Structure 1
Amino acid sequence: MILEALNYAASVPLTPAAFRPHIASSVSLSARARRCAKAWAAHEANSQAQVVETVKTLKERRTAVVLGSGLLRDVPIRALSKAFDTVVLVDLVHLASARLWLTAKGLRNTRLIHRDLSGFEEAMAGKPIEPLGFLRQVPYLDLVVSANILSQIGVGCRRRLEREGQAERADDIVPGLIAAHLEGLKGLPCRTCLITDVSYRVSDRQGAVLEEDDLLAGVTVPAHSTGWDWPVIPFGEGNGDYQAVHRVIAD
């Protein structure tokens, strides 16, 4: 708890006021990642390998953008920093611990950007949803990685609507946000790499399925070249009597 408190306190002055409400959840996720390091290791290795393989296909390696860079665990930041002139890391929050890691590794060609990638505000205002439109302004863009963020767009939207007393609007809004992210990636004039969980299953120690659902809100699962299971909540985490396994795809 002390480490979490220090990380939170150190992250506040480094984070613009509009994004500070997200620090607590990022600190919580960071703590879970440490607790579940062994269970998450294969997922993180698979995610990093997918990015590395994508980089190998590129003729030019000037600027790479990582959407959902967050904790810097599931994307090979050092390999990207070595391969590209500039690496832009985009997320709601980059904790002080992540910033310290970048400095310690001497990754001086990385740039951190705070940005809401969901398109939620536009959707609520009835405006066209173009959450990735800003990428068209990035010069010399050769690679965009969407790193385990797509499903979180829907989860975050539902939670926000619940807080605002508009939960009934989720089924109308969430599919549009997820589709907009996928369309945004497709419309980019560069190579893209999509890594996302698409569904989950909760089961007990006897193997009985307690819950399962689609994480893309009915949007068609994108074409993909590979996939794997990610034990997001392994046995022993939470109350210890169940596990939650997410299905991940990548291309």
Structure 2
Amino acid sequence: MILEAIQYTATALVTPRKFRPFIRSSLGLWGRAARCTKDWAAHEENCHAFIRETIAPMKQRRTAVVLGSGLLRDVPIVELSKRFDTVVLVDLVHLASVRTWIRAKRLTNVRLISRDLSGLEDALSGKTPEPLAFLRQVPYLDLVVSANIVSQIGVGCRRLLERSGHENPDAVISQLIRAHLDGLGQLPCKTALLTDISYEVTDRDGAILEEDDLLCGVAAPEAKRRWNWPVAPFGEIGRDRQAIHRVIAV
């Protein structure tokens, strides 16, 4: 608890005020990642391998942008830093521990930006959401990685919409997910999409207790790779329950 409190305070000092409410969810993910290191290892290596595969044939490696950089566990950030002139990490919150790690590794060409990538504000105001439109202003952009953020847009926005009593959160979430996928597809550069598309909660006998579509009805792009990610192994959400997410790489 003491370490978490220090992490929270240090992160709040360098996080724009409007994004500070999201620090606690980032801390929750940080804690789970520490507990599930062994169970998440294969998923993280699959993500790293796909990104490496994506950049291997690239001739120009000037600027790379990572959307939903989070804890940097599913992104080979040291390799990206070595191979690109500039690497830009975009997320709501960059924990103080992540910032410290980047400095310790002397990744001086890595830039951090706090930004809401959901497009929710535009959608609620009646505008067509274009959450990735800002990328058009990034000079010498050669690579964009969407790192396991699409489903989180849906999960996070659903909480906000249901809390506010919105009458049709599914329609808004579908619009936002489609806007993210369309925005990636319209970029004039190399892209890599990593996202979980569905999940199952099962018991120790393999019986499905709960399942859902994390893309809220939006058709998933044709995948180049697929794998399972034990997001919550037995003991994390219950002694006899586990949550398995289906992940695609595009």
Report the TM-score range of the alignment, normalised by the length of the smaller protein: over 0.9
**CA positional deviation for 1:239:** 2.2
Aligned residue in 1 for 2:189 = 190
CA distance in 2, matches of 1:112, 1:57: 26
Cα shift readout 1:100-127 (whole Å, capped 9, x = no counterpart): 0000000000000000000000000010
Deviation string for 1:15-68 (max 9, x for gaps)? 010100000110111010000000001001101111111110211000000000
One-letter amino acid matched to 2:242:
Q
How far off its partner does 1:128 sit?
1.3
User: Aligned pair 1:43/2:48, yes or no?
Assistant: no
* Structure 2 letter corresponding to 1:130: E
Q: Distance in 2 between matches of 1:240 and 1:82?
A: 42
Letter in 2 for 1:124: L
1:210 equivalenced with 2:209 (yes/no): yes
Alignment partner of 2:171: what SS? helix
Aligned to 1:23: 23
1:94 is paired with a residue whose SS is coil
Which residue does 1:78 correspond to in 2?
78
- Kindly indicate whether residue 174 of structure 2 is the aligned counterpart of residue 175 of structure 1: yes
Take 2:146 and 2:239, find their aligned partners in 1: how far apart are those partners? 31
**CA offset digits 1:207-236 (Å, max 9, x no partner):** 111011111011111111101000000002
| CA distance in 2: counterparts of 1:240 and 1:26, whole angstroms | 24
| Cα distance between partner residues in 1 of 2:175 and 2:88 | 26
**Could you tell me the TM-score, scaled by structure 2's length?**
0.99
In structure 2, C-alpha distance between the alignment counterparts of 1:110 and 1:123, rounded to whole Å:
31
Q: CA deviation at 1:238?
A: 2.4
Offset at residue 73 of structure 1 (A): 0.6
Partner of 1:33: 33
Counterparts of residues 68-217 of structure 1 (less than 5 Å): 68-166=68-166, 168-217=167-216
- Consecutive unaligned residues of structure 2, counting only runs of 5 or more, are none
Q: What's 1:227 paired with?
A: 226
CA displacement 1:107-153 (0-9 Å, x = unmatched): 00000000000000000001011000000000000000000000111
Say which SS state the counterpart of residue 158 (structure 2) adopts. helix
Deviation at 1:96, TM superposition (A): 0.1
User: 1: CA distance between counterparts of 2:211 and 2:94?
Assistant: 31
The 2-side partners of 1:52 and 1:5 are apart by 35
For 2:67 and 2:205, locate their aligned partners in 1 and report how far apart those are by CA, in whole Å.
Answer: 38
Moved over 2 A (4+): none
Partner SS state of residue 168, structure 2: helix
Residue 3 (structure 2) aligns with: 3
CA distance in 2 between partners of 1:228 and 1:39 (Å): 13
SS at match of 1:210: strand
**Aligned mates of 1:171, 1:9 — CA distance in 2:** 35
Task: Report the 3-state secondary structure (helix = DSSP H, G, I; strand = E; otherwise coil) of the residue aligned with 1:19.
Answer: helix
Matches of 2:182 and 2:110, distance apart in 1: 26
TM, length-normalised to structure 1: 0.98
CA distance in 1, matches of 2:64, 2:92: 18
The answer to whether 1:65 aligns with 2:102 is no
Paired residues, number: 250
Counterpart-to-counterpart distance in 1, 2:60 and 2:109:
16
Query: In 1, Cα distance between the equivalents of 2:217 and 2:237?
Result: 28
